[in-house]
Structure 1
Amino acid sequence: MRHLLTALAAVSAFGAITAHAQEVVVIGHSAPLTGPQAANGKDNENGARLAIDELNRQNIKVAGKTVTFKLDSQDDQADPKVGVQVAQNLTDRGVVAVMGPYNSGVSIPASRVYNNANIPILSVASNPALTRQGFKNIFRIGASDEQLGGTMAEFAVKTLKVKTAAIIDDRTAYGQGVAQQFEQVAKANGLEIVDRQFTNSQATDFLGILTAIKGKNPDVIFFGGYAAQGAPMAKQMRQRGLRAKLLGGDGICSPDMGKVAGDAASIVYCAQGGIALDKTPEGREFLKKYHDTWRTDPQVYGVNYYDGVKLLADAMVKAGTTTDKTKLMAQLSKEQYKGIAGTYSFDAKGDLVGAPTTVYVIRNGFPVPYAQ
């Protein structure tokens, strides 16, 4: 009997050691999973889950412990108030870091909650105001409005050789930010802004705005907003007989744009952060893995969320911790991580250094890199 008890004690002790040598790390995710932008939010979640599945198969070790990663994904509905509630919820649940939020209008107020809790966030939200708050917990894993809007302004002048432009934005932090940067760089390059109009992120009827713009006869219209509004806008530009091309940032640079706009998507030119995935072996491999796993094609930032989770895991391994968020953020700030969409390193504000941007056109329903 004594031998049996000794053996059971040994088994129990071994089990305790084994359990101690394993650790579950929960990463939060905040994005619109319902509503007009759900396709983008789900795309980001898919990219993050794909990375987590791969990491878990690799048996990553941090400070000698095998780590199992899990994703706590929550729907912020692209609503700032809901996003703050999600931030508080994820904070209360003890997540080690957060992927997102996706929208600038959500990221800016939510980032204050995460900053107070010392939780790092890795977001593609592009409004420059996000990283100008002086927080040390923000790491932008996509291009900023300055890069996206500026790229399209230079493209309009130097490649399309246009002389006049009208601007519409949806009054969100993202839409206003990218439109403002387009306008600033456009004017600096001699492009005349002939009209400035506004809509909202729930609108679907733009005929009144487009009628007003048609009278100014611009060469291009720049839209600061998302595909949910950009797609019907492109169709209505055709209906109103506007000759202008429709330009925008990453918010309209998605398969959903082509799916909804149909033939009218042929007038769309847009900028997206990162390199064209089909131009590199790693990018083509990612596209295949994503499609094989989710039976759909990626939208815009699924690859950045995939890279972002891998970047986060790399920082944990190098920092030797999954729990000390101060050490984790210090390591993130000095990362030089080569991902699928580019190399991730950050300046003192948390902006992505040298973020590449690519101009796309919509062909056969999908964004393809513009080729002169």
Structure 2
Amino acid sequence: MIRKIRDALPISATVILLAMAGTTAMADEIVNIGHVAPLMGGIAHLGKDNENGARLAIEDINAKGLTIGGQKITLQLDAQDDANDPRTATQVAQRLVDDNVVAVIGHLTSGASIPASKIYSDAGIVQISPSATNPAYTQQGFKTTYRVVGTDAQLGPALAKYAASGLKVKSIAIVDDATAYGQGLANVFEQTARSLGLNVLSHDATNDKAVDFHAILTKIKGENPDAIMYGGSDDTGGPFAKQAKQLGLRAKILSGDGMCSDKLSDLAGDATDNVVCSEAGIALEKMTDGKAFQAKYEKRFGQPIQIYAPFAYDAVYIVVDAMKRAQSVDKAKILAEMPSTDYTGVIGETTFDSKGDLRHGVVSLYHYKSGKKTLLDVVKM
């Protein structure tokens, strides 16, 4: 057909037609990578932070150009909202499977990552969470589950040990938000605290939608602990710390990475200066390329990094690194390359153990000075 049309056209038109035919033949292959996090609700800012990190990686890789197996590739981010709800998380996971993504970056929370992980496992799709810390996520026997952060089994002990040795506390009250993340972190913290000889006065539960903590805090005030450990995210942890101060509690508020955000000062006011929190990864200012990444992120999105954007960024690059080693964008071949990952990026070197956890976890401890999140220490686990 092209020959017949060409014979009837002038030379200039023939050249244009052949060029168009060649362009069509060499068109980039579109490869979808999924990302899932809550994009509405109390922790939407954390979800959007992760999504931004993944999106920035996609844009950087596309700008540099990517060729796999001789074919030019254009990556596309398939971003979904799981509302931090286990049921929605499984529905979204199935949607990504149906969209034929080759890998998934997410989910944000353990409560969403764990139920969704079976969907990805059944489909043979790599799942890398930039932020899910509950140990159970990688203890299900799935070959598809990975994470680029430490776990609650590291976060909880690091926080408890700092409470005992750094803050010299003797008694603790514990409250969790009854989520897989908050409860898991609080339980591990409690185990370590007891093993260190700290007096655990009480362990109460609230929920991740709570706004009024006066009843629990009034009870705790009567117990007069040296510190209160709160297992939950900043959307509830901020009001928790604020109300504790309003009630006159002098106890330090200890928490994990879910509460350890730059937005905490907006939620807790000057009560942030009484908070000590831990993150399951190296601090941004300790990353070799942390400052450069921060500048690039803020220029692109016009807002500061919350917590795990660099980890989501590297997670995308880890998937692409597996593609390059496989010389394929086939999801099964990408999955086959994941165990041999040895990638050095913004967050440092990433290698995985047989379960998909980092071989060498790091925990960063923070406190707040005049509402500004400030690094206390980095602990290798």
TM-score, normalised via structure 1 length: 0.95
The 8 Å contact of residues 364 and 377 in structure 2, kept in 1 or not, is answered as no
- Contact 1:245/1:269 (8 A) holds in 2: yes
1:107 counterpart = 2:109: no
Secondary structure (helix, strand or coil) at the match of 2:263 reads helix
Partner Cα separation in structure 2 for residue 311 and residue 231 of structure 1: 34
1:49-83 Cα shifts (integer Å, max 9, x gaps): 11111000110211111211111111110011111
Matched, 1:31 2:37: yes
1:52 to 54, 58, 62: 58
Q: Report what 2:6 is aligned to.
A: 4
| Paired residue type of 1:30 | V
Q: Superposed, which structure 2 residues align to 1:237-276 within 5 Å?
A: 237-276=244-283
Match of 2:313 in 1: 306
Alpha carbons of structure 1 residues 293 and 10: separation in structure 2 relative to 1, 3 Å:
closer
Cα drift, residue 294 of structure 1? 0.8
Whether the 8 Å CA contact 1:275–1:357 is kept in 2: the answer is yes
Q: Deviations over 1:252-306 (max 9, x none)?
A: 0101112211110001111112222123451011111111111110111111001
Report the alpha carbon displacement of residue 85 of structure 1 after superposing the two structures with TM: 0.7
Question: Map of 1:313-352 to 2, 5 A cutoff?
Answer: 313-323=320-330, 325-352=331-358
Aligned to 1:208: 215
2:156 matched residue in structure 1: 149
Given candidates 75, 82, 106, the residue that maps to 1:76 is: 82
- Look up the equivalent residue of 2:62 and give its one-letter code: N
**Gapped regions of structure 1 (runs ≥ 5):** none
**Structure 2: distance between partners of 1:308 and 1:62:** 18
State how far apart, in whole Å, the 2-side matches of 1:5 and 1:293 are: 50
TM superposition shift of 1:312? 1.1
Partner of 2:229: 222
Which of 279, 285, 290 aligns to 2:286? It is 279
| Partners of 1:349 and 1:167 in 2: CA distance | 30
In structure 2, C-alpha distance between the alignment counterparts of 1:98 and 1:371, rounded to whole Å: 32
Cα distance between partner residues in 2 of 1:190 and 1:281: 38
Task: Give yes or no for contact 1:342–1:356 (8 Å, CA) kept in 2.
Answer: no
The equivalent residue for 1:17 is: 25
Aligned counterpart, 2:196? 189
The residue type paired with residue 298 of structure 2 is H
| 1:176 paired to 2:186 | no
Does residue 85 in structure 1 map to residue 87 in structure 2? no
Distance apart, 1:351 and its partner CA = 0.9
Q: Which whole-Å CA distance do the structure 2 matches of 1:75 and 1:13 have between them? A: 39
2:11 aligns with none
- 1:289 aligned residue: 296
State the partner residue of 2:140: 133
* Number of the residue aligned with 2:362: 356
Partner of 2:171: 164
The separation in 2 between residues aligned to 1:73 and 1:365, in whole angstroms, is 32
How far off its partner does 1:5 sit? 3.9
Q: Distance in 2 between matches of 1:230 and 1:261?
A: 8
C-alpha distance in 2, partners of 1:296/1:125? 23
Give the letter aligned to residue 370 of structure 1: L
Residues 61, 342 of structure 1: alpha-carbon distance in 2 compared, 3 angstrom cutoff: same
Indicate conservation of the 8 Å contact 1:274/1:342, yes or no: no
**Contact persistence 2:265–2:272 (CA under 8 A):** yes
Q: CA deviation at 1:46?
A: 0.6
Letter aligned with residue 18 of structure 1: M
Distance 2:288 2:332 in 1: 36
Secondary structure of the structure 2 residue equivalent to 1:252 = coil
Identity among equivalent pairs (%): 45
Contact 1:254–1:366 (CA under 8 A) maintained in structure 2: no
Q: 1:371 to 1:110 in 2, by over 3 A?
A: closer
Q: Give the Cα–Cα distance (whole angstroms) in 2 for the partners of residues 336 and 134 of structure 1.
A: 22
CA RMSD, Structure 1 to Structure 2 (Å)? 1.7
CA distance in 2, matches of 1:42, 1:309: 15
CA contact (8 A) 2:159 2:277 kept: yes
